Amino acid sequence: LRAATTLRAATTLRAATTLRTTSRRGQSSTAAAPLRYFSAWFCPFAHRATLALEHHRQAVPYEWEESLGWEQRAPTGDEDFEATERSDWWYHWKSPALLAANPKGMVPTLLDPATNRAVTESIVCIQFIDELAAANGSTAPPLLPTDPFERAAARVAAEQVNKSVTSGYYQALVRTDAAERADGFAKVLDGLRAFTRESRGHFWGGDSLGLVDCVLLPYAYRLYALEHYRGFAVPASGEGGVWERYQAWLSRATSLPYVAPTLPERERYLRHVAKYAEGKARSKVGNAVRRGAAAHDYDDTLDDDAAHAQGVK
């Protein structure tokens, strides 16, 4: 209980600090009320929306609300498992405001305070922000191509990144079988190869950050976690220059002036993700991967915290 109370207090403090910082950073000259942005500093899914918001920060004002934390809950006695299986499990704490805006409790969630309409799902949020920015007269390059065929190709590539790199990352991190972990990392490498070979400039779609880059970058940046916990490292060179080009893209993207401040501090993130590496995190994504599903195929019912607390498999 003390751990849960302390963690919620710390989360509130971090949220207040982040909100003050991001409110200034995300301000624009438009008169529109800022979007309420329910996020979490550690979440790579939410990081995708953060990149889009920062890319269009002059046209899409927003206020960050830190909305996820971690807490340890005492067993209730109703669980369908041995007490030793969960003595130090960690569950997501979700802010009441997030749950009011999105009952599924997932980040990113964007809320229009004037109408109470919400937008969810990370890839959808990127496209929504890009469309809203265009309507608001953004001078930043669009995140999606203007040509309909190229837009379709970008959406397909973004989904492929989600299925290969994102799901492979969690498979390598969460699964306990060594062969399954290695298979997960192989999926990551396959996704990085495809992304690099399809890229047509400094970034996936040309000379500026785009949809596919925003989908990949939060995971590409965090791959040091797999090296730290599993010993899996992305090659620095080889395969006809593929890995040199990939590493150059990663360095270029993370060095962008509006991207660099969004990157979580390495040691802090490693402490966070240890919960997944050690099998203690009870989140929807973690629960899905533990039961053998891909991270992108988590089920809101089967993988809900409450369902797993009651022994649903």
pLDDT of residue 278: 84
Q: What tokens were used for 46?
A: 């939410």
* Average pLDDT score over the chain: 84
pLDDT of residue 19: 33
Q: Minimal CA–CA distance to 109: which of 98, 100, 93? A: 98
pLDDT of residue 75: 59
pLDDT beyond 60 at 259: yes
pLDDT beyond 90 at 162: yes
What lies within 8 Å, CB to CB, of 12 at 6+ separation is 66
Longest dimension (CA), the chain: 58
Global pTM value: 0.82
Residue 40 CB neighbours (<10 A): 26
HSE-up (13 A, CA, CB side) for residue 2: 0
HSE-up (13 A, CA, CB side) for residue 294: 13
Model pLDDT for residues 208-239, shown as the tens digit of each residue: 999 999 999 999 999 999 999 999 999 999 99
pLDDT of residue 287: 72
More confident residue, 204 or 10: 204
Q: Give the helix/strand (H/E) hosting 91.
A: strand 90-94
pLDDT of residue 64: 98
pLDDT of residue 74: 60
Model pLDDT for residues 8-63, shown as the tens digit of each residue: 434 333 333 333 334 334 444 334 789 999 999 999 999 999 999 999 999 999 99
pLDDT of residue 291: 77
Please say whether the beta carbons of 66 and 40 come within 8 A. Answer: yes
Amino acid at 259: V
How many angstroms separate the Cα of 97 from the Cα of each of 10, 36, 67, 68, 70? 17, 10, 8, 11, 16
Rg of the chain over Cα atoms, rounded to whole angstroms, equals 19
Calculate mean pLDDT across residues 69-86: 58
Instruction: pLDDT band for 79, please (50, 70, 90 cuts).
Output: low
Model pLDDT for residues 88-110, shown as the tens digit of each residue: 566 768 999 999 999 999 999 99
pLDDT beyond 80 at 163: yes
